[in-house]
Amino acid sequence: MSATAVSAKMHRFDCMRVLAPLLKDELVILSLGASVDEWYTAAPHMRAASLFQQQLGCVTPQAFGLAVGLPHRRIVSLDTDGGMMFNLGILATLANEQPKNLLVVVWDNECYQSIGGPPTHTAQGRVDIAKIAQGAGIAEAHTATTLDAFEALCRRGLVAEVPFVVVAKVSKESFRDVRRKHSDGREDKYIFVRHVEATEGIVVMGPSEHN
Amino acid sequence: MTPAAVEAVIAGLKAAGISVVCYLPDSLFKELYPALDADPDIRTIRVTNEGEGAAICGGVFLSGKRAALVMENSGLRAAIEPLARMGMGAGIPVVMLMSYRGDLGENNWWAVPHGMTMEPLLTAMRIPYRVVDDAAKAKQAIQDAVTWSYASYYHSAVAITGGLVR
Q: Which residues of A touch B (CB under 8 A)?
A: 29, 51, 53-55, 57-58, 61-70, 87, 89-90, 92-93, 96-97, 184-186, 188-189, 192-193, 196-197, 200, 202-205, 208
**A123-136 pLDDT, tens digit each:** 999 999 999 999 99
What share of chain B in percent tops pLDDT 70?
A: 100
Contacts of A53 in chain B (CB under 8 A): 85-86, 90
More confidently predicted of A164 and A113: A164
Nearest CA-CA partner of A204 in A70, A28, A47, A25: A70
Question: Within chain A, where are the H helices?
Answer: 12-19, 35-42, 59-69, 81-86, 89-97, 129-136, 147-157, 185-200
Question: A1-5, A86-90, B72-76: which range is least confident on average?
Answer: A1-5
**B128-137 pLDDT, tens digit each:** 999 999 999 9
CATH class (in words) of the domain with range A4-200:
alpha beta
**Would you say the ipTM is above 0.90?**
yes
**A162-184 pLDDT, tens digit each:** 999 999 999 998 877 777 878 88
* CB contacts < 8 A (A, B): 120
pLDDT at position A5: 47
- Cβ pair A89:B62 closer than 8 A: no
Chain B residue with Cα closest to A183: B90
Domains of chain B listed by start with CATH number: 3-164 (3.40.50.970)
Q: Which of A63, A93, A203 sits opposite B64 (nearest CB)?
A: A203
CB-based contacts of A193-202 (< 8 A; 24+ apart in sequence): A193/B62, A194/A48, A195/A48, A195/A49, A196/A27, A196/A70, A196/B62, A196/B63, A196/B64, A197/B64, A199/A25, A199/A49, A200/A70, A200/A73, A200/B64, A202/B64
pLDDT at position A178: 78
**B54-81 pLDDT, tens digit each:** 999 999 999 999 999 999 999 999 999 9
**B90-106 pLDDT, tens digit each:** 999 999 999 999 999 99
Chain B residue with Cα closest to A209: B151
pLDDT at position A32: 79
Burial class of residue A72 in the structure, from the number of CB atoms within 10 Å of its CB (0-12 exposed, 13-18 middle, 19+ buried): exposed
**Global confidence as pTM:** 0.96
Nearest CA-CA partner of B49 in A53, A93, A67: A93
Contacts of B54 in chain A (CB under 8 A): 58
